Amino acid sequence: MTQDLLDKARAAVASAVKRGAQGVRASARRAREGEVEWRDGKVDRLRESTEVGLGITLFVDGRYSANNTSDLRPEAIERFLDESIAATRVLSADPHRKLADPKRYEKRFTGELSVYDEPAAAAVTAADRQRAARELEQATRSGPGAAELISVTTSSGDVTTESALVCSNGMESSFRSTRFWIYVEASVRDQGDRKPEGWWYAVTRSRAKLPSLESVGLEALRRALRDRGGKPEKSAKYPLVVEAAVTGRLLGDVLGPLGGQAIQQKRSFLADKLGKKVAADLLTITDDPLLPEGFGSIPYDGEGMSHVRRPIIERGVLRNFYLDTYYASKLGSEPTTGGSTNLLFPSGKRDLVGLCAAMGKGILVTGFLGGNSNAATGNFSLGVRGQWIEGGKPVRAVSEMNLAGNALDLWSRLLELGNDPYLYSPMRCPSLRFDKLQFSGT
């Protein structure tokens, strides 16, 4: 039950106020996690843990500090508060540090988000996890081409998270969620000492909604076999399709520069782009924190501000930054929220096969390998692997190539979104098709 966490957060706030803090935010958290990792026919690692913690944000005489402890005994919390408040008093004052406006706690969503599977969380055992991990390996080794396998590593796990948040200026709430996952990584033989690896996984809020072990295992095997014989193509500009499962790598280079710290410190290539065109017309990204079963779903943010659905990019135009109270104050803006939740995209008409067919000839990227990106300029250079597409179909594996350019140019070249959103991430982005971009290879 989260009631005990709520009680601890309330008590910590009250105690800090008695000690002279003018503003306090307390977050109490408990996470119970279990996982079995299985490798080549035997248990490789078994882990079960429970973590608890209390975070206290203090506003004392115009000064601010954020403090954490994992010792929740009452006497330990009292010492923790004494030390934290004393340390806060010697810091420099900062007029921009303050609790969120209480008006932003209002109209908090109280409906069902379907992110907590209590019966499954209570029932799953270490034996269940081990059985799933073992059968996942068996499923992987049962597919076409399994004779080429070198090694198979699988895992099955789950985590239950409970939290409570209390603010001294009128906000308090609690939240519970679960996640269940299965994962497999397979390596296969190739020319020389090459050992291509393929992975696949699934994660859901409800254990009953996990896909079959067979489907996950066979997909990992297929992806490993697909990458055999990979080699670079000639350096040139090629049309590009990015598989849904890895589009998050490109999106991350946009989300980071939307944060308040990057904007305020002028380390964002998007700092002066609010209300301006930053992508092709067909790109719309909506942040939806109230999506049922979403991995980013929660009614409030880390400051307690009520979450709302908001456009981030709308028909190619940048509509919102991610601004918490502090950076909004420094920028003279209204706060939105401190970070992204679930990102939703419009659905196209074609799946990955259809996008490749529409591209005709080019590169399908199925993985990003290292590289770098500059949040201040938008320039990036990313290692890629994937498939060479000809006649709309994959004909050979591609590896040891780099995709380079600028994020604004990249997203202006977006031609089509697929109808296959990636469901195992807060970024529910489909596969994407782009016009010609620069690749370096041989």
Between CA 10 and CA 6 the distance in angstroms is 6
What's the whole-number mean pLDDT along residues 179-202? 95
Between CA 83 and CA 76 the distance in angstroms is 11
Confidence (pLDDT) at 1: 59
CB atoms within 10 A of CB 1: 8
Which residue from 43, 223, 38, 204 is spatially nearest to 117, judged by alpha carbons?
Answer: 204
442 confidence band (pLDDT: 50, 70, 90): confident
Between CA 357 and CA 391 the distance in angstroms is 7
Between CA 179 and CA 358 the distance in angstroms is 37
Angle at 356 between CA 352 and CA 362, to 5 degrees: 135
Q: Which one is predicted more confidently, 193 or 235?
A: 235
Please determine, for residue 439, whether its predicted confidence score (pLDDT) is greater than 70: yes
Domains of the chain: 3-226 (3.30.2290.10), 236-250+347-440 (no CATH)
Q: What is the pLDDT of residues 113-169, one digit of tens each?
A: 999 999 999 999 999 999 999 999 999 999 999 999 999 999 999 999 999 999 999
Q: What is the pTM assigned to this prediction?
A: 0.95
Strands of the sheet with 285-287, listed across from one edge: 317-318, 310-314, 285-287, 343-344, 427-428
Q: Which residue has the tokens 């406006």?
A: 101
What's the whole-number mean pLDDT along residues 355-376? 96
What's the whole-number mean pLDDT along residues 261-287? 97
257-261: long-range contacts, CB 8 A cutoff, minimum separation 24: 257/375, 257/376, 257/378, 258/312, 258/320, 258/321, 258/322, 259/321, 259/322, 259/327, 259/338, 259/339, 260/321, 260/322, 260/323, 260/324, 260/326, 260/327, 260/328, 260/330, 260/331, 260/338, 261/327
Q: Give strand ranges (E) for 193-338.
A: 197-204, 236-242, 285-287, 310-314, 317-318
192 confidence band (pLDDT: 50, 70, 90): confident
Which alpha helices (H) appear in 163-314, and where do they start and end? 213-226, 248-255, 260-264
328 confidence band (pLDDT: 50, 70, 90): very high
Q: Do the Cβ atoms of 116 and 176 come closer than 8 Å?
A: yes
Q: Do the Cβ atoms of 172 and 10 come closer than 8 Å?
A: yes
User: Among 79-88, 187-196, 351-360, which is the least confidently predicted range?
Assistant: 187-196
370 confidence band (pLDDT: 50, 70, 90): confident
**How large a percentage of the chain has pLDDT more than 90?**
98
Strand duo 149-167 + 23-39: pairing? antiparallel
DSSP 389: E
Q: Note the Cα 254 to chain centre separation in Å.
A: 13
Q: Which residue has the tokens 């995709």?
A: 403
Confidence (pLDDT) at 327: 98
Q: Do the Cβ atoms of 406 and 382 come closer than 8 Å?
A: no
Q: From residue 254, how far is each of 285, 318, 394 by CA, in Å?
A: 11, 11, 29
2 confidence band (pLDDT: 50, 70, 90): confident
What's the whole-number mean pLDDT along residues 422-432? 97
Q: Which residue has the tokens 């080019």?
A: 362
Between CA 294 and CA 288 the distance in angstroms is 9
Please determine, for residue 429, whether its predicted confidence score (pLDDT) is greater than 70: yes
Token pair in block for residue 146: 């399994």
Q: What is the pLDDT of residues 47-88, one digit of tens each?
A: 999 999 999 999 999 999 999 999 999 999 999 999 999 999
Confidence (pLDDT) at 193: 86
Between CA 284 and CA 414 the distance in angstroms is 12
Between CA 7 and CA 17 the distance in angstroms is 15
